């Protein structure tokens, strides 16, 4: 592994950009006939062929009421976000009020504010900035909006610092240090957000910078802000590899682990692997201190960390795995979900690139736990921007709508007004409802970190820049997720689940608890190699209580959570085999009352991602359908995405249309049939549909029929729709 390929970052009022230089084995007893039931057809089935109807399913789990009762504030859980463009240009009071009123008219509820906090400021200059912040906060609150303040957490830019005074020159030993001893400092011309003549320095979270930053966070909280938006809490790898080897970092690692910091990148060394995991923990602790500092002033103050590390491999390189904060109070994420082109957004993305985007939004929702998951929605024109927002909403994330490549403004006021008006109308259904998915996909941080991955991050799939496109996320094939063992397998399962119309949730490994597995029938463990003893115990109990597993990869549970080789597989008794004779594929039931365990030694997910092969789809989806029948079925095209939720006697079905979302983006309207199993003892009260594509965001009735314990109806889908099935 290497950190030589830099990652993408967001800075200030601009967005981060890439810094690049340039055989199937069937499970015993599993046949294609096993695909019958609620899931969608295999990939090659025509769009409008009638699907088999679902068998009646158990009643959906009880859903919460519309009265919000979550671990963070209602306003943050229901947020519709926008940047307060113009503030950095010192607008007058009238201009500020005009900006805020226009945002409010677009149904924005939370304003992200940004001044010069990215730049080095003396204490006197910072005090002046805080006074401006306090004045703006009062004006924002006067309009009924909420405001959070953008403040980079580990980077300081010194204007003119290359040739004049600078933060690094003043505090040279505060900087992060790379594996070869270089301080993490550079000047303009290296990255786009640091202008020529300016200096950028990245600070150690374990040095004096920690208290320096926390003191200033307290002042921002005292100024009346509703929250803080700390950015780039990471070990920046743009110019220096594998930070932090500073004296502060080494001392903290020794204190926490009893080990000396590794002197070189060596994945065969236990100290190196332990250091990789420690960096996730260390940055999480720093951010917990940030959140606690704000709440020491105002118990309702909340922290929203702008997070660039998603489901792919960046987190290994830069050290910040957002899922480590899943259970923490008062702190959550603003996920910067990237797009394939900073100029064109997703307009030239392939179908597999859209699957990557779906995967990132699903991970964002999972890694935020029960807290709000704010997420960037980049777009270029109204149609592609709506499609991106559809994937954000269907995942359960709060939208931060911006026009690529910057974030000062949205694609258009009319589009934001239309889409945010829809979100406001259906806030409870989108953000207070409960998932009805009974299939979970496991994102294993340790397997991500310790499965061999080669170079690159795997952000997207396609690395061939389309004709006429100026900028592409990467043109280096090793960057693609296609060639990544763990990531390719993980995202291939996402692709199979989307194509199978199987609603699913993602579960993240750090902080996994028994309650997280409750209610699921099937747990998918893609390329599942590294697992802690506690994780293994929870998964073992899940199977013992009737849950089923689909496990893939050549070394199932063969490593511990730090990548150390185990003498025996952690789940050998669940898998039904040992290291001595691992089979190519197997089906095993540990006990009569236990769930089934399906194992494939190869990587059917990666193969399905790369080649969309029917046999690989059959193994993944067919294994699920052997033990679980979803309560919703459809004959929709495989590129129509389905998720299911529930709220107050309603089943909520969400559909997004990705049929035209490939190569040259277009919208291809589609119509399909849907069957929903009626819970025992219930009657259908209504079926209604709402969409931002309709003239009104209100629900409109849909004709439906009831027969054989199922309600059926047809859906006309343009880009995104929400269907409500109401139970009497």
3-state secondary structure 157-223: EECCCCCCCCHHHHCHHHECECCCCCECEEECCCCCCCCCCCEEEEECCCCCHHHHHHHHHHHHHHC
Phi-psi region of 254 (alpha: psi -120 to 50; beta: other; left: phi over 0): alpha
3-state secondary structure of 302: strand
- Note the pLDDT tens digit of each residue in 678-728: 999 999 999 999 999 999 999 999 999 999 999 999 999 999 999 999 999
Of the spans 9-18, 187-196, 403-412, 661-670, which averages the highest pLDDT?
Answer: 661-670
Which domains occur in the chain, in start order? Answer: 32-55+437-629 (3.40.50), 79-154+204-236+260-433 (3.20.20.80), 633-727 (2.60.40.1180)
The CA distance from 584 to 604, in Å, is 12
The CA distance from 386 to 721, in Å, is 12
- Note the pLDDT tens digit of each residue in 356-392: 999 999 999 999 999 999 999 999 999 999 999 999 9
pLDDT grade for 32, boundaries at 50, 70 and 90: very low
- Note the pLDDT tens digit of each residue in 519-531: 999 999 999 999 9
The alpha carbon of 513 is separated from its chain's Cα centroid by a whole number of angstroms, namely 20
* pLDDT higher than threshold 60 for residue 518: yes
pLDDT value at residue 71 = 85
pLDDT above 90 covers a percentage of the chain that reads 85
Report the mean per-residue pLDDT for the chain: 90
- Note the pLDDT tens digit of each residue in 135-159: 999 999 999 999 999 999 999 999 9
Closest-CA residue to 620 (of 655, 590, 585, 653): 585
**Least confidently predicted of 96-105, 548-557, 686-695, 705-714:** 96-105
* pLDDT higher than threshold 90 for residue 52: no
The CA distance from 136 to 87, in Å, is 9
pTM: 0.93
pLDDT value at residue 40 = 41
* pLDDT higher than threshold 70 for residue 53: no
* pLDDT higher than threshold 70 for residue 423: yes
Mean pLDDT of 63-88: 78
pLDDT grade for 30, boundaries at 50, 70 and 90: very low
* pLDDT higher than threshold 80 for residue 640: yes
Q: How many CB atoms lie within 10 A of CB 199?
A: 24
Helices (H), 442-586: 445-450, 485-499, 514-517, 533-544, 572-575
pLDDT value at residue 51 = 44
- Note the pLDDT tens digit of each residue in 251-296: 999 999 999 999 999 999 999 999 999 999 999 999 999 999 999 9
Mean pLDDT of 404-412: 87
Closest-CA residue to 446 (of 355, 343, 533): 533
């Amino acid at each position: 592994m290497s950190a030589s390929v830099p990652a993408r970052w967001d800075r200030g009022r601009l967005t981060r950009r890439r810094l690049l230089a340039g055989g199937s084995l069937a499970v015993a007893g599993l046949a294609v006939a096993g695909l019958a039931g609620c899931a969608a057809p295999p990939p090659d089935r025509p769009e409008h062929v009638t699907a088999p109807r679902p068998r009646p399913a158990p009643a959906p789990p009880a859903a919460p009421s519309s009265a919000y009762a979550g671990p963070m504030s209602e306003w943050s859980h229901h947020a519709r976000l926008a940047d307060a463009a113009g503030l950095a240009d010192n607008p007058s009071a009238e201009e500020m009020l005009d900006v805020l009123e226009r945002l409010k008219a677009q149904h924005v509820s939370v304003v992200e504010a940004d001044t010069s906090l990215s730049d080095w400021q003396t204490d006197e200059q910072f005090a002046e900035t805080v006074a401006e912040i306090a004045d703006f906060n009062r004006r924002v609150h006067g309009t009924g909006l909420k405001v959070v303040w953008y403040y980079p957490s580990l980077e300081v830019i010194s204007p003119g610092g290359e040739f004049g005074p600078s933060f690094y020159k003043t505090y040279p030993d505060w900087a992060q240090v790379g594996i070869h001893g270089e301080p993490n400092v550079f000047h303009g011309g290296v990255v786009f957000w640091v202008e020529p003549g300016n200096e950028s320095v990245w600070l150690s979270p374990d040095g004096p910078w920690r208290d320096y930053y926390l003191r200033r966070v307290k002042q921002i909280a005292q100024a009346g802000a509703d929250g803080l938006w700390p950015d780039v809490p990471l070990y920046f790898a743009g110019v220096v590899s594998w930070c932090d080897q500073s004296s502060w970092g080494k001392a903290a690692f020794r204190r926490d682990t009893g080990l000396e910091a590794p002197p070189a990148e060596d994945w065969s060394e236990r100290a190196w692997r332990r250091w990789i995991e420690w960096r996730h923990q260390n940055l999480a602790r720093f951010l917990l201190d940030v959140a606690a500092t704000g709440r020491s002033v105002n118990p309702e103050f909340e922290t929203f960390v702008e997070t660039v590390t998603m489901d792919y491999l960046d987190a290994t390189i830069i050290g910040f795995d957002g899922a480590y904060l899943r259970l923490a109070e008062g702190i959550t994420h603003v996920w910067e979900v990237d797009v394939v082109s900073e100029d064109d957004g997703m307009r030239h993305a392939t179908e597999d690139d859209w699957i990557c985007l779906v995967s990132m939004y699903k991970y964002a929702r999972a890694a935020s736990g029960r807290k709000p998951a704010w997420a960037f929605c980049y777009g270029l024109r109204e149609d592609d921007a709506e499609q991106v927002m559809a994937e954000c909403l269907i995942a359960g994330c709060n939208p931060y709508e911006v026009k690529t490549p910057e974030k000062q403004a949205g694609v258009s006021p009319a589009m934001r007004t239309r889409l945010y008006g829809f979100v406001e109308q259906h806030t409870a259904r989108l953000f207070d409802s409960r998932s009805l998915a009974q299939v979970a996909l496991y994102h294993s941080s340790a397997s991500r970190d310790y499965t061999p991955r080669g170079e690159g991050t795997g952000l997207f799939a396609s690395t061939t820049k389309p004709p006429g496109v100026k900028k592409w996320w990467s043109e280096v094939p090793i960057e693609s997720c296609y060639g990544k063992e763990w990531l390719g397998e993980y995202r291939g399962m996402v692709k199979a689940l989307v194509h199978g119309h199987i609603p699913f949730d993602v579960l993240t490994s750090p902080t996994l608890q028994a309650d997280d597995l409750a209610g699921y029938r099937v747990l998918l463990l893609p390329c599942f190699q590294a697992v802690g003893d506690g994780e293994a115990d929870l998964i073992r109990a899940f199977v013992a209580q009737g849950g089923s597993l689909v496990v893939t990869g050549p070394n199932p549970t063969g490593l511990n959570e730090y990548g150390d080789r185990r003498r025996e597989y952690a789940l050998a008794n669940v898998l039904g085999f040992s290291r001595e004779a691992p089979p190519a594929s197997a089906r095993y039931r540990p006990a009569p009352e236990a769930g089934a365990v399906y194992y494939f030694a190869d990587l059917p997910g990666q193969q399905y991602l790369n080649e969309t092969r029917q046999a690989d789809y059959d193994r993944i989806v067919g294994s699920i359908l052997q033990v679980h029948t979803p309560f919703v079925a459809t004959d929709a095209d495989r590129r129509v995405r389905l998720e299911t939720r529930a709220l107050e006697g309603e089943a909520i079905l969400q559909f997004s249309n990705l049929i035209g979302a490939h190569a040259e983006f277009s919208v291809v309207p589609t119509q399909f049939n849907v069957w929903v199993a009626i819970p025992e003892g219930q009657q259908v009260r209504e079926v209604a549909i709402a969409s931002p594509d309709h003239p009104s965001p209100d629900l409109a009735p849909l004709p439906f029929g009831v027969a054989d314990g199922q309600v059926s109806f047809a859906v006309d889908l343009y880009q995104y729709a929400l269907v409500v099935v109401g139970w009497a």
